A and B are shown apart, each in its own frame.
Chain A
């Protein structure tokens, strides 16, 4: 009940406004239409620029100035700091962006959002923009009904702008009519108390409406109609700045530590900026007067002066905070440490990422690598390797060495504890991710890769029974074959683990290693390389043992192939994948068999001509 109290208060207040005065109802409707316009605009821009913004953000991470410029530029263009914040949080959570780079983008976005005040105080107030709203809404709706995704997104943008115009017009008219009945400037407060009270009003209004633009448009239209004093309007704009960070903070509660750190940094930045603006308000007022004269803004054009004030104090915030960024990052990492994750908790994927498909797919790929590490550990145990030792094994002898005690592990329990919960989360995330075109192909690749991984784990379970049995008879002919299978799979696992560890591994190195591993699988297939026939012919194994060996050879091959297929899809970012490059060097089964036959001929030791 207590959590719903603000909503109930707002509903009662709105009900009273509609009942008591048509003018107040007009203003309230204007705000509502304006907010709906913001939502429609955001939805349209997401469809229209989502991919472009993500591609731009990927390139804006190497230099601080690029991050700042990206944040400021994109927010100015889209007029949606929420869109940019959401994108940044997604990139941060998926590990594509560091906290420092993320802070640069958010600081820039804060500056970019001030362009909104200029647009609202300039063209929006001086033209009859309500007249432009209706054509925009009409054409927008026609576009929304179109089949093409881009046209639909464009339709939402037009409808968004149309509603924004309509909302502003209604608010303007509302305040102008209101002025004839009431004079709100009677409630104007001067001095420190006025400054603080109206700052709080700005914070509350922005948190309730979830939009600093909405607060600013109310205050700017009220200011133009003479319903609020200039000083009090400035205080509301400071409050709106802090309020927007509070809104982001509330939204970030559901994200992971990286997202929460960014939201905390945003809040700190806006609090410090607001504090500077409050403490040095007189200095800022002088600077605004000076700047207004320089820009040719009339002395009584308080709306534009408010926009200048908004820009100036945000710019000051950046100048003050950028040198402290390193310390801020250290402080946040110290105060908000990453919590150890439970086995059933995802590290990279989260539902708030579903809105940013590029980052979501990269997060998915990294989560899949996490799942691979667990599968690595499980299959290593089946083969009676200690996962840590297998990672460190450098020589053939180390891979071939058997432990003192051969153990049988409960794979079902291990699978249920460490693989299934995470795999379930990954599958669930993939099902909810809506993508098109190239991204849809990438999603299919990752989906198949996750299935390959699970198949490998399940085949490991089938392999375990005979593996444990014959490893205990290590010196028998069957024991030797199982030791060989164990060593080959161990080698493959170790190589894949090393490739997975090199997060930004070179694509050529990965392809080269995967090609070598692929040939080895073919080469070690004892059915194809004639080894099985030889064992039977020389009576070293009986028919029953031959069947077991054949089955387990098939399991081993399937495990190896599934792991390799998974690695091909998940070890490199999608943009780096090049099937042609792979096909150019990978030997097909026929070529490997011919090569092995050639190697087994008596003169095979002679070196062939070097290509």
Chain B
């Protein structure tokens, strides 16, 4: 068995690595969902005529963007922390 394959196997079998991968997958899925939700809200904003509701939707979109930014940063740090 080559060294690289052994490393891959070791990483796969390591409980900690598996947990890290699962965490990244979950977060990635969540971020995708946030992106879709953001698109949906932007669509609603484009169709909304009421000024008050527009302001509320704009606020929701901004909050979602901020949450997504935070999530992306966390994902990046998880990737950096992952063992080589």
Complex CA gap A595/B61 in Å reads 12
Complex CA gap A322/B74 in Å reads 51
Q: Using CB atoms, name the residue of chain B closest to A610.
A: B65
- For the complex, is A56 an interface residue (Cβ under 8 Å from B)? no
- For the complex, is A396 an interface residue (Cβ under 8 Å from B)? yes
Complex CA gap A214/B74 in Å reads 61
The residue in A584, A591, A604, A605 that gathers the most chain B C-beta atoms within 10 A of its C-beta is: A584
- For the complex, is A533 an interface residue (Cβ under 8 Å from B)? no
Task: Pick from A507, A585, A608: contact of B67, CB below 8 A.
Answer: A585
Which residues on A sit within 8 Å (CB–CB) of B74? 583-585
Given known A578-B26, A584-B70, A585-B70, contact A516–B53 (CB-CB < 8 A): no
Task: Pick from B34, B53, B58, B60: contact of A585, CB below 8 A.
Answer: B34
Asked if B63 and A595 sit within 8 Å, CB to CB, the answer is yes
1/0 per residue, CB under 8 A from B, across A563-591: the answer is 00000000000000010110111110001
- For the complex, is A82 an interface residue (Cβ under 8 Å from B)? no
- For the complex, is B29 an interface residue (Cβ under 8 Å from A)? yes
Given known A578-B23, A584-B74, contact A605–B67 (CB-CB < 8 A): no
Which residues on B sit within 8 Å (CB–CB) of A289? none
- For the complex, is A300 an interface residue (Cβ under 8 Å from B)? no
- Taking the nearest CB of chain A, how far is it from the CB of B39, in angstroms? 11
Which residues on A sit within 8 Å (CB–CB) of B37? 512
Asked if B33 and A611 sit within 8 Å, CB to CB, the answer is no
- For the complex, is A146 an interface residue (Cβ under 8 Å from B)? no
Query: Which residues of chain B from 33 to 84 have any CB-CB distance to chain A below 8 Å in the complex?
Result: 33-34, 37, 53, 56, 58-60, 62-72, 74-75
Complex CA gap A586/B69 in Å reads 11
- For the complex, is B27 an interface residue (Cβ under 8 Å from A)? yes
Complex CA gap A583/B62 in Å reads 18
Asked if B30 and A611 sit within 8 Å, CB to CB, the answer is no
1/0 per residue, CB under 8 A from B, across A492-523: the answer is 00000000000000011101100110010001
Given known A396-B53, A599-B62, contact A519–B67 (CB-CB < 8 A): yes
Which residues on B sit within 8 Å (CB–CB) of A604? 62
Asked if A587 and B63 sit within 8 Å, CB to CB, the answer is yes
Q: Using CB atoms, name the residue of chain B closest to A598.
A: B62
Which residues on B sit within 8 Å (CB–CB) of A592? 63
Which residues on B sit within 8 Å (CB–CB) of A584? 27, 30, 70-71, 74-75
- Taking the nearest CB of chain B, how far is it from the CB of A236, in angstroms? 51
Given known A523-B59, A585-B71, contact A508–B26 (CB-CB < 8 A): yes
- Taking the nearest CB of chain A, how far is it from the CB of B41, in angstroms? 11
Main secondary structure on A side of the interface with B: helix
- Taking the nearest CB of chain B, how far is it from the CB of A517, in angstroms? 11
Q: Using CB atoms, name the residue of chain A closest to B58.
A: A605
Asked if B72 and A508 sit within 8 Å, CB to CB, the answer is no
> How many residues of chain A are within 8 Å of chain B by beta carbon?
27
Query: Which residues of chain A from 513 to 548 have any CB-CB distance to chain B below 8 Å in the complex?
Result: 515-516, 519, 523
Asked if A515 and B67 sit within 8 Å, CB to CB, the answer is yes
Which residues on B sit within 8 Å (CB–CB) of A519? 63, 67
- Taking the nearest CB of chain B, how far is it from the CB of A491, in angstroms? 11
The residue in A515, A587, A605 that gathers the most chain B C-beta atoms within 10 A of its C-beta is: A515
Q: Using CB atoms, name the residue of chain A closest to B67.
A: A585
Which residues on A sit within 8 Å (CB–CB) of B70? 584-585, 587, 591
Query: Which residues of chain B from 10 to 24 have any CB-CB distance to chain A below 8 Å in the complex?
Result: 23
Q: Using CB atoms, name the residue of chain A closest to B54.
A: A605
- Taking the nearest CB of chain B, how far is it from the CB of A606, in angstroms? 10
Given known A508-B33, A509-B33, A585-B34, contact A611–B65 (CB-CB < 8 A): yes
Asked if A608 and B65 sit within 8 Å, CB to CB, the answer is yes
Which residues on A sit within 8 Å (CB–CB) of B33? 508-509, 512
Which residues on A sit within 8 Å (CB–CB) of B75? 584
- Taking the nearest CB of chain B, how far is it from the CB of A604, in angstroms? 8
Q: Using CB atoms, name the residue of chain B closest to A507.
A: B26
Asked if A508 and B63 sit within 8 Å, CB to CB, the answer is no
Which residues on B sit within 8 Å (CB–CB) of A508? 26, 29-30, 33
Complex CA gap A508/B65 in Å reads 17
Which residues on B sit within 8 Å (CB–CB) of A507? 26
Q: Using CB atoms, name the residue of chain A closest to B38.
A: A610
- Taking the nearest CB of chain A, how far is it from the CB of B75, in angstroms? 8
Which residues on B sit within 8 Å (CB–CB) of A583? 74
Complex CA gap A422/B58 in Å reads 42
Complex CA gap A286/B61 in Å reads 78
Asked if A581 and B23 sit within 8 Å, CB to CB, the answer is yes
Which residues on B sit within 8 Å (CB–CB) of A512? 30, 33-34, 37
Q: Using CB atoms, name the residue of chain B closest to A522.
A: B63
Complex CA gap A607/B58 in Å reads 9
Asked if A595 and B34 sit within 8 Å, CB to CB, the answer is no
Q: Using CB atoms, name the residue of chain A closest to B69.
A: A611
Asked if A585 and B30 sit within 8 Å, CB to CB, the answer is yes
Asked if A587 and B66 sit within 8 Å, CB to CB, the answer is yes
Complex CA gap A519/B66 in Å reads 11
A and B contact pairs by CB, cutoff 8 A, 23 listed: A508-B33, A512-B34, A512-B37, A516-B60, A516-B64, A519-B63, A523-B59, A578-B23, A583-B74, A584-B30, A585-B30, A585-B34, A585-B68, A585-B70, A585-B71, A585-B74, A587-B63, A591-B66, A599-B62, A604-B62, A608-B62, A608-B65, A611-B65
Nearest 8 pairs of A and B residues by beta carbon: A584-B74, A611-B69, A508-B30, A585-B71, A585-B67, A584-B71, A519-B63, A508-B29
B contact set with A: CB distance below 8 Å: 23, 26-27, 29-30, 33-34, 37, 53, 56, 58-60, 62-72, 74-75
Given contacts A508-B26, A512-B30, A519-B67, 12 further A-B contacts (CB under 8 A): A508-B30, A509-B33, A519-B63, A581-B23, A584-B30, A584-B70, A587-B63, A587-B66, A587-B70, A595-B66, A599-B58, A599-B62
